[in-house]
Structure formats: C-alpha cells, structure tokens
Structure 1
C-alpha cells in the first residue's frame, strides 16, 4: 500500500486499486488529491504489468466532486494560481481516459460532478444500487465543465444527459445502469464481489490486446467503416508483432486441440495472473 495525503494505492500483481481518501469530506477532490492522483498513475505505470485499475472511495462516498472552496473560491482572485490549480485536475482526467490498463470505477455512496465524471471516464463501472449520481453545477450557476459534460454526453442518451445537466437532479445506481453510465448496479453488499468478478476476467487476458482493443474502440468511434477497417487491420498487425503472434501460436492452437471454446472462455496464458 502506498499512502499519499489524500489517496491510497495498492498494487497486487496485475491489479491496482486507487482509493480516494478524504472520507470526512466525502472524498471531495481538492488540489492535493489532484496532485496525488497524478502521482498514483505514475506509480502504476512505473510498476509495469498492471492490467486492471480499480478506482473507489474510502468511507461512505465515491466522490462528491470538486472541493468548491479549495479549487475555486480560494484561488479565484489569483488568475495564475486558479489556472494552475485546475490544470492539475484536467491533466489526470485526460490521463485516466487514455490509460493503457483497463480502468474500472467501483462506485459507492455519492458520485457528484467530478465523481460522476471519473465514473464516465473509466472503461468499465460497477456501482451499488443505492449510489446517488448527480451533476450539481447548475445549482451554483455553471454547467458541468472540465470534461464532465463530455463524460455525460458519451455515457447517457441525449435526453437523459440534458435532463441531468439542466436540472441538477440525481439518479440512482439502478438508473445509471439503465442509461449506460455503469455496467452493473448491485446491492451494496455485492459491490466488492462483482468488481472482483470483472477484474478476474480482465487479468487473464493479454495486456497488449487489452490496450490496443481500447485504442481501436476509441478511434473507430470517429471513423467511417472503410477507414475503421484500415485502422483496425493496422492495429492487428501491431498486436501480432508486439505479442509474438500469440493469438495464432497459442490461442488458436489451443482451439485447434479443442482445449477451450472461444465463445465460452479464454485461452490459457502462461502469465495470465502476473
């Protein structure tokens, strides 16, 4: 366990878990947390071999969003300080979106503003059914910014996205599952087990394949079909080179011997759990 001022980090083989750790403030994101998150992501990249990164909150909240006093009120009169303070947050949000490992939000309690955004930026998300998500920015006179509107736009249908942006109303974990913000909403006592189940499916996969699969998905959302095929074929050749043709030499050779059925399970990798 690596303990920072506002974030704890645990790396266990192919799995890293980041804990927001300001429980007395419902894990509101202050400037120190933004610095700590960049440091935590640095540590994960330096460790190497991490395939899944789980982000969750200590205490009874995932994150209540930005610390409005420390991030906005206090530095506002100094434009350069205000800019630098919030640039740190914007940096790690973008890093999280493009992180090479699979990112999984494990959402408990409250997820407002920045907490909503982090849920939307992660590749996958699991929440308890009783979580309250919200975009409260409209209630203090602004719109969701710093990527928050992007996260809503890319995770919720248009009418629902605009409803929560414009009203400030909350939605539950069950509604978040219905709208596509989270993959699964479960009873609170099943949140750990469901997250572990998903992590277990990720960590036995080829890490190069995981990273390139994410890249292909993100890029092809902006391409027409011919361009998308050109892109994914180039990435397939890249994958083959970087993984020594594992999909042919290992996976399909195992299939040829009927050692597994691809529609039901994954092939066996020598380093699946490492």
Structure 2
C-alpha cells in the first residue's frame, strides 16, 4: 500500500515507520504524503487509541530531502509549496486527532523532522539520538513551526541557541532541556514506549481526546482563553460510566 513508510495496527495501537534508511529516512514529497494519508486514516479509526511513529535504521528522519527538492529551493524557501502544505496537514492531523501520538525517536532527527517531532503529544528518544535544527546551516527558513514550538518547549534563549548554532543535542540532553519526555538507551526505547502506550490504553479514550483538545487550545490561545475554554467545554464522556458505578458500589 505504501512505498516509503511501513504501517501496522494491532490491539489499539497503530505504528508508522519511516522506511528510507539508505537516506536516513529523509522526508521526500512521497513520504510526507504517505505519512499524512496514514495519519488521517488512523484519526478516523475508533479502534485505535495510540499512534506511534518511529524510523528504520540509524535515523528517525534527517529532515526534508534536500536532494529531492533541490530544484525547488529558491531564495531560502521551497517554491514547491505543496510539500510545505503537506507537512502542515500532517501536523494538524496529529494535534486534532483524538488518539495519543508518540514520537519514538530512535536516531538522527534534524530540522524539518524536529519540527514534526515537536508536534507529537509525547516524545521518547534514544540516548544515542541526535536532535537538532539546521535551518541556518542550509539557509532555509522554517515553515512547520520551529520558531514557535521550540521556544515553547525549551525557552526562548535555548531555542535561539539551538537554531543559531545548528548544533544537535543528544537524547539525554533533549530530556534535560524539556525537548523530549524521556530518554533511554536505544535497546530499551521500544519497550519504554510500549509501556507508556499500555498505560494509556487502560484509560478513558474519550477523556484523553477531550483533554488533548483543551491542552492544545490553551497552548495556542494562552492561559486566560484556555481557562475559559476548559470551564465552558461540555464533552460527552461515556466510556467510563460502568467504572464509576462500580467505584460507587465498592466505596
């Protein structure tokens, strides 16, 4: 079905793997299109509660495939605007879908890939991973949220340091500065992510979906509007009614 990604689904978890290991899973137009398509389909599948995205080989993704898009680079921007729009569509799908999304960063993760990584709900990295922003190295302005999300994660001065120096950080350092949730040795990464997913599966999917909307609304609109939204929100949550009834009986 797909050429540049691997897709599987079982027991409430969907998994996507970038599958261009010979080029460090660089984000070609086709890979981005397939990634977006798969994500949008998962968003509509009520049997899925968690989406995990990782990479094959030594990289999560080295970022946008500059070789594939070389002819479209003009004046520090990609004239192939469709590619940029596809990346934005993927990010919007990630943050609007009811499922929890997890980036399992197994290796190199640079620039456009780092922008995509920051749009996931949760991020777990290998200690050995290298994560960075190299827009300034290549002379290309970001379009997928680097200048906004990075400073939300690590603070303004640290974000500017990472972007201006174009120097990556290890998974361990990424955890220390708040860029990822947790970093573990690569050999333990898949087990760690699966353990997190299992904990999520045991909770109310409807409540998670509601809280996800509230979290992102507040992150995008600010504290005051976020508090108003949370107070006014009226989400129908029915997947824990029996749990609550049993709780009352056993008190």
Fold shared, TM-score > 0.5 on shorter chain: yes
Deviation at 1:91, TM superposition (A): 1.8
Query: Residues 23-74 of structure 1: CA distance to partner in whole angstroms, max 9, x if unpaired?
Result: 0010000000111012211331343321110010011110000001223x22
Match of 1:173 in 2: 171
- Contact 2:19/2:56 (8 A) holds in 1: yes
Looking at structure 1, the residues matched to 104 and 223 of structure 2 have their Cα atoms a distance apart, in angstroms, of 33
Is the Cα–Cα contact under 8 Å of residues 11 and 44 in structure 1 kept in the other structure?
no
CA shift, 1:14, in A, is 1.2
How many Å separate the matches in 2 of 1:35 and 1:129? 29
Of 220, 231, 237 in structure 2, the residue corresponding to residue 243 of structure 1 is: 237
CA shift in 2, pair 1:223/1:135, >3 Å: closer
1:139 corresponds in structure 2 to: 137
Q: TM-score, normalised by structure 1?
A: 0.83
Q: Please provide the CA RMSD for this pair.
A: 2.2
Q: How does 1:1-274 map to 2 (within 5 A)?
A: 3-71=1-69, 73-76=70-73, 82-221=80-219, 222-225=221-224, 227-235=225-233, 237-238=234-235, 242-244=236-238, 247=240, 249-258=241-250
Find the residue that maps to 2:68 and give its secondary structure. helix
Cα deviation, 1:143-193, whole Å, max 9, x if unaligned, reads: 433222233122112221110011101101001101111111001111011
Q: Which has the larger radius of gyration?
A: 1
Residue 67 of structure 2: SS of its match in structure 1?
helix
Does the 8 A contact of 1:144 with 1:165 survive in 2?
no
**Cα distance, 1:5 vs structure 2:** 1.1
Is 1:52–1:104's contact at 8 Å kept on the other side of the alignment? yes
1:72-96 Cα distance to aligned partner (Å, 9 max, x none): x22347x997122332222212222
Bigger Cα displacement from structure 2, 41-50 vs 54-63: 41-50
CA distance in 2, matches of 1:107, 1:22: 15
Question: Partners of 2:85 and 2:31 in 1: how far apart?
Answer: 13
Structure 2 stretches lacking a partner, 5+ long: none
Tell me: CA distance 1:229–1:109, structure 2 relative to 1, closer, same or farther (3 Å).
closer
Give the SS at the match of 1:69.
coil
Tell me, yes or no, if the aligned pair for 1:135 and 1:170 is still in contact at 8 Å.
yes
CA distance in 1, matches of 2:71, 2:95: 28
Alpha-carbon displacement from aligned partner over 1:232-253 (angstroms, at most 9, x marks no partner) = 2332x32xxx333x55x43443
